Amino acid sequence: MIIIFTGTPGTGKTTLAIELAKKTGIPYLDVNIVIQECNLRESYDKKNKTYIVDEKKLSKVLTEIIKKTKNLIIDSHLSHYVPAKHVDYCIATKTDLKVLKKRLEQRKYPKNKIKENLEAETFDICLVDALELKHKVIQIDTTKNSIKKCLEMIQHGISKNKR
Ligand SMILES: Nc1ncnc2c1ncn2[C@@H]1O[C@H](COP(=O)(O)OP(=O)(O)OP(=O)(O)O)[C@@H](O)[C@H]1O
Ligand SMILES: [Mg+2]
């Protein structure tokens, strides 16, 4: 089973993806390592202290990885660019803006980066893109639900929606 995690930074993808991998035994893929190893960084955004990634190239590389494996959990806010036909479930994490702001401030992100991420969350950019790209989306709100509860909701969503 191929499961991707998408969502605005700070909404809980990595936390939940790693826990789901532990619980199910499905291998976890850290896309940041793929980006580094395959040199997919296009440019550096000085203002936001972040790298711009070529999402088309990334989606090609991820598709090649998926084709070689049966089970994988992919963790990245760019993961939904992988064509839906290669993906079984797309978990889209979300968080209320106040809580997300706190999480991003704790990370000491630059003000502008926090603002942009909060805007992305306001407009559900990742969710809307994932739905437009025809993924089978399971939305998980990490604002008030515990990690344990979120995992139960993910597993429930998967068993309810078996292809
Ligand atoms: N129910 C929950 N599920 C996931 N994370 C939670 C939850 N409740 C609180 N958190 C906290 O929210 C933060 C989420 O950070 P995490 O690194 O998982 O986000 P991310 O979406 O992977 O961000 P990035 O895109 O920058 O990698 C963590 O500090 C985590 O402990
Ligand atoms: Mg992460």
Q: What is the pLDDT of residues 110-161, one digit of tens each?
A: 999 999 999 999 999 999 999 999 999 999 999 999 999 999 999 999 998 7
CATH class of 2-155: alpha beta
Ligand 1 atom 10 nearest Cα: 12
Show the ligand 1 pocket: residues with CB < 6 angstroms: 7, 9-16, 77, 93, 103, 142, 145-147, 150
For the chain, the helix, strand and coil percentages under 3-state DSSP, each to the nearest 5: 50, 20, 30
User: Can you read off the two tokens belonging to residue 97?
Assistant: 């803006």
Helix (H) or strand (E) segment spanning residue 17: helix 13-24
Ligand 1 atom 16 nearest Cα: 12
Contact 92, 139 (CB under 8 A): yes
Average pLDDT over residues 18-35: 96
| Closest ligand to the CA of 11 | 1
Sign of the CA dihedral with 109 first, then 45, 132, and 59 last: negative
Q: Which residues surround ligand 2, an ion (CB under 5 A)?
A: 13-14
Between the CA of 102 and the centroid of ligand 1 the distance, in Å, is 12
Between the CA of 108 and the centroid of ligand 1 the distance, in Å, is 15
Average pLDDT over residues 43-64: 91
Between the CA of 80 and the centroid of ligand 1 the distance, in Å, is 18
Domain ranges of the chain: 2-155
Q: What is the pLDDT of residues 145-159, one digit of tens each?
A: 999 999 999 999 999
Residue with tokens 């979300």: 94
Which parts of the chain are beta strand (E)?
2-6, 28-30, 41-45, 50-53, 72-75, 89-94, 137-141
How far apart, in whole angstroms, are the C-alpha atoms of residue 40 and residue 141?
Answer: 30
| Closest ligand to the CA of 6 | 1
pLDDT at 11: 98
Q: Does residue 54 carry a pLDDT above 70?
A: yes
Between the CA of 29 and the centroid of ligand 2 the distance, in Å, is 11
Prediction pTM value: 0.96
Contact 78, 53 (CB under 8 A): yes
